[in-house]
Amino acid sequence: MQVRKFGKNGPQVTAIGFGAWPIGGGMGRVEEKAAIDTVRAAIDQGITLIDTAQYYMTSEALIGKALKGGYRQRCFLATKVSFDYSRKGILEAMENSLKALQVDYVDLYQIHSWNHEYPIEESMETLADLQRKGKTRFIGVSNFNKNQMQQALKTAPFQSNQPVYNMIDRDIEAEDLPFCAEKGIGILAHSTLAKGLLTGKYKPGYRFPPDDERSGFPRFQGEAFIGYIRLAEQLSEVARDKGISLLQLAIAWALRLPTISSVLVGAKTPTQIADYLGAIAVRFSEEELRRIDDILEDRPRI
Model confidence pLDDT, tens digit, residues 141-189:
999 999 999 999 999 999 999 999 999 999 999 999 999 999 999 999 9
Q: What is the DSSP string of 102-159?
A: T-S-EEEEEE-S--TTS-HHHHHHHHHHHHHTTSEEEEEEES--HHHHHHHHTT---S
Per-residue pLDDT band for 102 (boundaries 50, 70, 90) equals: very high
Other CB atoms within 10 Å distance of the CB of residue 71: 20
CATH superfamily for domain 3-196+250-282: NADP-dependent oxidoreductase domain (3.20.20.100)
Q: Is 75 helix (H, G, I), strand (E, B) or coil?
A: coil
Cα(225)–Cα(244) distance, rounded to whole angstroms? 24
What is the Cα 29 distance to its own chain's centre?
20
Per-residue pLDDT band for 298 (boundaries 50, 70, 90) equals: confident
The yes-or-no verdict on residue 301 having pLDDT over 90 is no
The yes-or-no verdict on residue 137 having pLDDT over 90 is yes
Model pLDDT, residue 31:
93
Per-residue pLDDT band for 291 (boundaries 50, 70, 90) equals: very high
Per-residue pLDDT band for 1 (boundaries 50, 70, 90) equals: confident
Query: Which residues on adjacent β-strands are paired with residue 76?
Result: 49
Model pLDDT, residue 195:
94
Cα(144)–Cα(182) distance, rounded to whole angstroms? 16
Residue type, 2: Q
Model pLDDT, residue 229:
96
The yes-or-no verdict on residue 63 having pLDDT over 90 is yes
The one catalytic residue in 56, 71, 109, 276 is: 56
Average pLDDT (131-135) is: 98
Model confidence pLDDT, tens digit, residues 8-59:
889 999 999 999 999 998 888 899 999 999 999 999 999 999 999 999 999 9
Percent of the chain with pLDDT strictly greater than 70: 100
Cα(189)–Cα(296) distance, rounded to whole angstroms? 19
Q: Report the candidate in 53, 58, 59, 45 with the shortest Cα–Cα distance to residue 14.
A: 45
Model pLDDT, residue 302:
81
Q: Between 302 and 55, where is the model more confident?
A: 55
Model pLDDT, residue 274:
87
State yes or no: is 118 an active-site residue: no
Q: What is the DSSP string of 152-184?
A: HHTT---SEEE-B-SSS--GGGTTHHHHHHHHT
Other CB atoms within 10 Å distance of the CB of residue 259: 18
Domain ranges of the chain: 3-196+250-282
Mean pLDDT of the chain: 95
Cα(60)–Cα(174) distance, rounded to whole angstroms? 33
Contact of 268 with 24, CB cutoff 8 Å: no
